[in-house]
Amino acid sequence: MPYDVSVVGPLNIDLLIVGEGPKDWSSLPTWDGPAQMEMVAAGSVGYLVSDLAKLGLRVRVSSCVPDDALGTFIVDVLQRDGVDTRAVRLVPGTVCGIGVYMLLFGSRKRPLIYRLPTHEPWPQHSADLEEAGLLEARLLHNGGYLHFQSAWHGATVSLFRKARQRGLLTSMDSQFPLFTMAPPWMRAMEDILPYVAILFCDETEARHLTAEQDLETCARILLEAGPELVVIKQGAEGATVFGRGWAYHQKAISLGEVVDTIGAGDAFDAGFLYGTLQGWPIEERALFAAIAAGYTVTGVGGSKTFPSCEHIRRVMAEFGR
């Protein structure tokens, strides 16, 4: 296969505003303290593909970005990380999606303000996706499926169906709608979940996907919809991998001071998928993923402190003693 992983999903800029705002909310109207601002690329599936490439995998990404300075910045960053961006479409006359994280009040990730892109998030015609060579890989992944209603029930479903027919492994991190939507969110995914082998979500998303509160119940409902594995990420509590009739919990790995958690979930996904492609047992996949995520939170931005595969393996050996 020409690629280890094909990824389809949105790409955007993340704008991080980092500082120490007042803990007394009544002081906000007169607060004028300093803050640092940093622009990083690329949010949505960008952190994931960069992390996968840093692990030594051959990665291709299909997406849409504006044909302007921000779109070029995103593509350049991914290319420097070793990602094949030839299937990224530059769309003239559009504006880039921007996620703004105001890390001013003790939060590690929220609140988030988002500017939606004016172009399609990724190509929405089956012929375009297939011509991009996305099925010439061992694994097909989608991120941000729920972000954009225009992507539901169309070309992406067809792509995943054909991937499974060809024997590819498939995975998805559906994330969340960028508009108000009442649970259960999974009603928007009923036609694609039968073709998703591994479904990633965080605990809040799992509850909204299913309209249930107990995570075991959430996982059971999601597994019944088609996936073979459901991986629920639980922040500082770690993550739990659910299969039919069993569950395995991986504790979070602390490897330094938490600076921000942006991209930690993407790092976990990348580590887990890497271990899956190596044929490792669930316990090794989860530990590798937890170590990758543990390093990512020690720096600003989604992938800047993502470690090498060799380094993660050394730390794994230490935890295995």
- How far apart CA 234 and CA 240 sit, in angstroms, is 8
Q: Is the pLDDT of residue 108 over 70?
A: no
Q: What is the pLDDT of residue 110?
A: 61
Q: Is the pLDDT of residue 321 over 60?
A: no
Q: What is the pLDDT of residue 90?
A: 97
Q: Is the pLDDT of residue 98 over 90?
A: yes
> Considering just the CA atoms, what is the radius of gyration of the chain in Å?
19
Classify 262 as helix, strand or coil.
coil
Question: In what side-by-side order are the strands of the sheet with 35-44?
Answer: 35-44, 11-19, 98-103, 112-115
- CATH architecture of residue range(s) 3-11+43-96+118-320: 3-Layer(aba) Sandwich (3.40)
What is the crossing angle of helices 282-296 and 309-320, to 10°?
A: 120
Q: Is the pLDDT of residue 238 over 90?
A: yes
Q: What is the pLDDT of residue 273?
A: 98
Which residue from 84, 96, 100 is spatially nearest to 120, judged by alpha carbons?
Answer: 96
DSSP 8-state symbol, 122:
S
Q: What is the pLDDT of residue 258?
A: 75
- Tell me the pLDDT tens digit for each residue of 241-260: 999 999 999 999 988 777 67
- How far apart CA 125 and CA 133 sit, in angstroms, is 14
Q: Is the pLDDT of residue 74 over 60?
A: yes
Q: Is the pLDDT of residue 109 over 70?
A: no
When comparing pLDDT for 240 and 298, which is higher?
Answer: 240
% pLDDT > 90, the chain: 72
Question: In what side-by-side order are the strands of the sheet with 137-143?
Answer: 84-91, 59-66, 3-8, 137-143, 169-173, 198-202, 229-233, 239-243, 246-250
- Domain coordinates of the chain in residue numbers? 3-11+43-96+118-320
Q: State the pLDDT confidence band at 44, using cuts at 50, 70 and 90.
A: confident
Please state the rounded mean pLDDT for residues 53-71. Answer: 97
Q: What is the pLDDT of residue 111?
A: 61
Q: State the pLDDT confidence band at 18, using cuts at 50, 70 and 90.
A: confident
Per-residue tokens: 253: 């790995």
Q: Is the pLDDT of residue 105 over 80?
A: no
CB atoms inside a 10 Å sphere around CB 190: 14
